[in-house]
Structure 1
Amino acid sequence: MKLQLITTTYEKNQTKTIETKKEFTHDPGVEFNVVNIYPQVEYQTFDGFGGSITDSAGYIYSLMSDQSKKELIQAYFGPNGNCYQTIRSHIDSCDFSVNQYEALSDPTDMEFESFNLDRNNRYILPLLLDAEAANGKPIEMMLSPWSPPSFMKTNGIRIQGGKLKEEYREFWAEYICHYIKSYRAKGFLIKKLSIQNEPNAKQTWDSCLYTGEEEKIFLRDYLYPALRKNGLEDIEIFIWDHNKERMFERACEIIDETTEHMISGIAFHWYTGDHFDAISLVREKFKDKKIILSEGCVEFSRFDENAQLLFAQMYAHDIIGNINSGMNSFIDWNIVLDTVGGPNHVGNFCHSPIVYDAQNDKVIKNLSYTYIGHFSRYIVPGAKRIASTKYTDKLELTALKNPDGTVVFILLNRLDEMQQVNLRINGQVTEVTVPGNSISTGLLSQ
């Protein structure tokens, strides 16, 4: 057994990544400081990592020089980058749009004659096309609506929550289908759809409220029939698409004998804390459903915008906890923003793993980008989570087995002090040093 270990440390605002190789020896019976990995014990399949291409990200991309565009695209989608396999984008505008917009605003246009994707063509689609060119094949996409058009809502505006008017449920379902078909006609691989982004949040930006019963009725009686009528039966439908603390309740409200066959999975966000047990509950009760993180970022309204190490550790901590609880894929929020965390038409500025300094035409990779890469560069879609144990809560650990049999494990140390590990697998052992405030990815092969 051989170990390739990639370790990143961060001291005095400097990132350092080193690679080492180690050999294993026969386990003499070590008992202390042990980390065990059990490839023979398998759990859920992991489908990969991704990020979101928003109107704001596309706008930033439009400002870049050709060289900076290439650098960004390769960083996420190139063979030596973070190997993203999924893209999420929004149906009509969201908070991370330069301004509000919708593809159709005429309540009498039931034939979609005035429907157009002009705004998408301006910013989102050029970034999508370049991402796919770098990837070498179509990238699987997920679409999510933040709000129906204003005329379809009880409050008459895209913002401040409001609800979908009952008389527009059928029209809105057809609108969503038209959006999907328009993207597919351009060659994009729309694979996933969530019913509503954050249906429990009345926001100062584009938003729409659904109770669990309302979401179920819209899915069962309008959206699913519309997808079938439009030949879109292959679209994977995800419910909830909101924070973890209520994902179990929402899943129980919506998934029953009438809707179970319509629903591919549950999407969640991370903004209200760990709640890894909530994921475990959903995994236990709904064993055949996919569980995906569809959005997560660090909001500058809640955290110091200069806390690079904290942000990176937040990402790694959440990914590890989610995977260990049963998550199937992880989709980050904006893949690129400006240096203040925008643009955002309501001032809801956030961190992004990569930012662009337009004044100096510079692509800046934050530490969170490197930390995400410790997972996404090495965990191959189709990997199986495998069992592992650790001797201390001072370390965080997850382990997976790629389709080719290579074992990947990630060790996160969020403390200042170094940890010494005896790594055991298949009756063999080797010593591993985990520096303080570091993340390490191990690749195990015969």
Structure 2
Amino acid sequence: MKSKALYIIYFFVLIMSCNSKKNQLQVSVYETSESGNKLTEIKDFVKNSNDSISKVILNPNEKFQKITGFGGAFTESSAYLLNKLSKKNRDEIIKAYFSREGANYSLTRTHMNSCDFSLSNYSYTPVADDVNLEHFTIEEDMLDLIPMIKDAISTSEDGFKIFASPWTAAPWMKDNNDWVGGKLLPKYYDTWALFFSKYTKAYEDLGIPIWGFTVENEPHGNGNNWESMHYSPEEMTEFVQHHLGPKLEADGYGDKVILGYDQNRAGIKEWVDVMYATEESSKYYDGTAIHWYESTYEVFPEDLQYAHNKAPNKYLIETEGCIDAEVPVWKDDAWYYKKEATDWGWDWAPEDQKYLHPKYSPFNRYARDIIGCLNNWVDGWVDWNMVLDKQGGPNWFKNWCIAPIIVDPDNDEVYYTPLYYVMTHFSKYIRPNAEVIDVESTSKNLQITAAKNPDGSIAVVVFNEGDKAQDFNLALGEKSQQIHISARALQTIIIPTN
């Protein structure tokens, strides 16, 4: 009798175990945290029997925008630094960004002519009044920038998109005859449109495909500090509608993406109202580009929603963001989790806007912003420089910033900051053409986004910026899995294809 009773108990335990496994959601979890995890795979979770544990429910049938990609910018400064490193470290960095084992970047940016993260001012059109651009040359890019891009292309198995942005036309095309500020003279609108076509051909002749352009980096200007050229929404739309779009189309480049605006989110409404006012005005615009510098803390969800609703079938891409107004902290991961860093508005912002510029953790800035963007229709997020030195340059204007990877070329050393891992949490696991899906959460302490990849897998990104670890129950249909996330941590949870 005793043996029979034990057998019955064993039988029921076995059934319960099978049912438990049947209802268990299979996941792979990767975490980066202040406690030291760096995309570390987490396999053992502390079980919390508390019935009040928060719930995160995935709704893959409710879909939003398709993802274009995640990545960073090829700048002359980054490329120059790579050329000063040993081949071993140079190759390691390229692989870290572009291999499947690394961040596997899928969307990238580069500059046309020089920018602040160049070694000096230069233009591809050095000869004044060369209306037909007979002297157009990309020679300035041949030593550093182009080799970096070509190495990235060779390394990437999945490929990536490149869009290019001008900071300014050559001074001879502008009303102030200067690198900084001023406007493009209307008599050179056709010449400047030709510039984009010439650039495309020159790069594609070298085996570098150009996916698209932003019309102008920061058309409001940058306080007259470094290369810039100003447009109003009406002036940019005039240029795109009657010059740039038709020229690219006529030269066989009509498939190139044209993104308008390309500055801070808070100013987006007045731009999309003009860009997408009519069918004719919006014909050549494929989307809107935005930056985060109005506030590296506030996402501006209402502005993003407004822009999406104005042109729901067009791109909405974050084309630049970085930790600015800071010199990089070298090999001190803890600093990147501390709320000590400022941004460019910390000192100058008027009192009623100080709340937009708090001291805030660089790690938190990236994590919360990318999640906030994805949850408000943004389909791509592009970091600024991929590589900078310990000073936060080189930068001809001394506009120091932080990059995810910092190098010391004199000693041939490389430092992967926590920001590199934040970018990788998204770029590696949320692939192009993934669709953002609905997430319901009962937690007020976790920031969450999710996307279903083209292969059917689902990537869930969870950010816990609190001082305490959190437990939550992740559910997909009838299956669920309890997850434990560390304090001040970012997780990517992969649910494999069914």
Distance 2:318 2:419 in 1: 17
Output aligned runs, 1:6-17, within 5 Å: 6-11=30-35, 14-17=36-39
The residue identity in structure 1 corresponding to 2:294 is T
Report the Cα offset of residue 107 of structure 1.
2.8
Output aligned runs, 1:174-189, within 5 Å: 174-189=194-209
The residue identity in structure 1 corresponding to 2:405 is I
Report the Cα offset of residue 389 of structure 1.
1.5
Which residue of structure 1 aligns with residue 309 of structure 2? 284
TM-score, length-scaled by structure 2: 0.84
Which residue of structure 2 aligns with residue 390 of structure 1? 441
**Kept after mapping to 2: 8 A contact 1:316/1:412:** yes
The residue identity in structure 1 corresponding to 2:224 is Q
Distance 1:301 1:64 in 2: 23
Distance 1:200 1:304, change over 3 A: farther
Residue 468 of structure 2 corresponds to residue 432 of structure 1: no
Output aligned runs, 1:152-301, within 5 Å: 152-159=173-180, 161-201=181-221, 202-255=223-276, 256-273=278-295, 274-301=299-326
Report the Cα offset of residue 138 of structure 1.
5.5
Distance 1:21 1:426, change over 3 A: farther
Q: Which moved more, 1:278-287 or 1:324-333?
A: 278-287
Which residue of structure 1 aligns with residue 492 of structure 2? 441
Distance 1:371 1:428 in 2: 28
**Kept after mapping to 2: 8 A contact 1:139/1:188:** no
Distance 2:42 2:399 in 1: 41
- What SS does the aligned partner of 1:37 have? strand
Report the Cα offset of residue 31 of structure 1.
6.3
Which residue of structure 2 aligns with residue 401 of structure 1? 452
Distance 1:122 1:187 in 2: 16
Q: 1:77 aligns with which of 98, 101, 104?
A: 98
TM-score, length-scaled by structure 1: 0.94
Which residue of structure 2 aligns with residue 329 of structure 1? 380
Distance 1:252 1:16 in 2: 43
- What SS does the aligned partner of 1:178 have? helix
Distance 2:94 2:188 in 1: 39
Report the Cα offset of residue 186 of structure 1.
1.2
The residue identity in structure 2 corresponding to 1:118 is E
The residue identity in structure 2 corresponding to 1:164 is L
Report the Cα offset of residue 374 of structure 1.
1.1
Q: Which moved more, 1:64-73 or 1:296-305?
A: 296-305
The residue identity in structure 2 corresponding to 1:141 is I
Which residue of structure 1 aligns with residue 42 of structure 2? 20
- What SS does the aligned partner of 1:325 have? coil
Q: Deviations 1:377-409 (Å, cap 9, x if unpaired)?
A: 111211110000112331100011111211110
Report the Cα offset of residue 187 of structure 1.
1.4
The residue identity in structure 2 corresponding to 1:213 is E
Residue 104 of structure 2 corresponds to residue 104 of structure 1: no
Q: Deviations 1:49-88 (Å, cap 9, x if unpaired)?
A: 1210011111111101100111111000112000001221
Distance 1:16 1:217, change over 3 A: closer
Which residue of structure 1 aligns with residue 419 of structure 2? 368
Distance 1:147 1:362 in 2: 34
Distance 2:39 2:188 in 1: 54
The residue identity in structure 1 corresponding to 2:374 is I
Q: Identity of paired residues, percent?
A: 30
**Kept after mapping to 2: 8 A contact 1:2/1:22:** no
- What SS does the aligned partner of 1:73 have? helix
**Kept after mapping to 2: 8 A contact 1:143/1:194:** yes
Report the Cα offset of residue 22 of structure 1.
7.5
- What SS does the aligned partner of 2:89 have? helix
Which residue of structure 1 aligns with residue 22 of structure 2? none
Q: Deviations 1:264-321 (Å, cap 9, x if unpaired)?
A: 1001011112212211111122110111111110102599897312212211111100
**Kept after mapping to 1: 8 A contact 2:53/2:471:** no
The residue identity in structure 2 corresponding to 1:173 is A
Which residue of structure 1 aligns with residue 468 of structure 2? 417
**CA RMSD of the aligned region, Å?**
2.1
In terms of fraction of residues, the more strand-rich structure is 1
Q: Deviations 1:210-269 (Å, cap 9, x if unpaired)?
A: 011111111111111211222111111000011111112201112122122211100101
Report the Cα offset of residue 153 of structure 1.
0.8
Which residue of structure 2 aligns with residue 45 of structure 1? 66
Report the Cα offset of residue 32 of structure 1.
4.7
Report the Cα offset of residue 105 of structure 1.
2.4
Distance 1:67 1:302, change over 3 A: closer
**Kept after mapping to 2: 8 A contact 1:10/1:16:** no
Distance 1:73 1:86 in 2: 15
- What SS does the aligned partner of 1:259 have? helix
Distance 1:389 1:303 in 2: 37
**Kept after mapping to 2: 8 A contact 1:15/1:367:** no
Distance 2:212 2:95 in 1: 24
The residue identity in structure 2 corresponding to 1:291 is L
**Kept after mapping to 1: 8 A contact 2:106/2:431:** no
Residue 158 of structure 2 corresponds to residue 133 of structure 1: no
Distance 1:369 1:123 in 2: 22
**Kept after mapping to 2: 8 A contact 1:22/1:430:** no
Q: 1:94 aligns with which of 115, 118, 139?
A: 115
Which residue of structure 2 aligns with residue 114 of structure 1? 135
**Kept after mapping to 1: 8 A contact 2:39/2:425:** no
The residue identity in structure 1 corresponding to 2:336 is Q
Which residue of structure 1 aligns with residue 368 of structure 2? 317
- What SS does the aligned partner of 1:237 have? strand
Report the Cα offset of residue 366 of structure 1.
0.5
Which residue of structure 2 aligns with residue 147 of structure 1? 168
